[in-house]
Structure 1
């Protein structure tokens, strides 16, 4: 059963999912701490290139099925125009300022 985005526990993660689903690049980038990093399937990737390719140019969308670790770990059905839908896991590191310093994703 999908968790409504508005009911996700962590405010930064909730805003991240909302920005992805709204295709709001400006709001998405505002959530990231300076120097934020990310990894996909265990490999560090270029953040700007990855979000353009996997989220914004391909109309990415997240339906969250499960959250743990205070809402900073998610299992979600992620879809985009490139890959279709897949079951993914997401891990977020959020700084004291409430901004995301790192996120990691991969197949669940």
Structure 2
């Protein structure tokens, strides 16, 4: 059974998922620390380019299956118009209430 976004433990991760699912670029940028970085399947990517393509321009959506590591890691069914649906893992580094790095890939 999916975990409701509002029940995610870490406030920054909760804000990240909320912004993704609302397709709210402004709220998404607000949850990221200046200079935040990311990786997809182990390769570093440009945050703006990747999130534009994989989330905002393709209607990305996260349905959270599980959280662990004190709320800083998730397993989710992720879907977008480009790739359909796949099980993904997400890991977050949070500092001062902002996401400084996130890593995602197939689970």
Query: Does the alignment reach a TM-score above 0.5?
Result: yes
How far 1:91 moved relative to its partner?
A: 0.1
- What stretches of structure 2 of length at least 5 have no aligned partner? none
- Per the TM alignment, residue 59 of structure 1 is displaced from its structure 2 partner at its CA by 0.4
CA distance in 2, matches of 1:47, 1:18: 17
User: Which residue of structure 2 lines up, in the alignment, with residue 18 of structure 1?
Assistant: 18
The TM-score with structure 1 as length reference comes to 0.98
Q: Which deviations, in whole Å up to 9, do the C-alpha atoms of 1:57-104 show, x marking residues without a partner? A: 000000000000111000000000000000000000000x20000000
Verify: 1:27 aligned to 2:22, yes or no: no
Distance (Å, rounded) in 2 between the aligned partners of 1:90 and 1:61: 13
Correspondence for 1:105: 104
Q: Is 1:92 aligned with 2:92?
A: yes
Partner SS, residue 77 of structure 1: strand
Q: Work out the CA distance in 2 between the residues paired with 1:46 and 1:14.
A: 22
For residues 12 and 65 of structure 1, what CA distance do their matches in structure 2 show?
18
**TM-score between both structures, scaled by the size of structure 2:** 0.99
> Unaligned 5+ residue runs, structure 1?
none
Shift of 1:36: 0.3
Kindly report structure 1 stretches of 4+ aligned residues shifted beyond 6 Å: none
Give a deviation string over 1:46-66, Cα, whole Å, max 9, x none. Answer: 111000000000000000000
Report the number of matched residues: 107
RMSD (CA atoms): 0.4
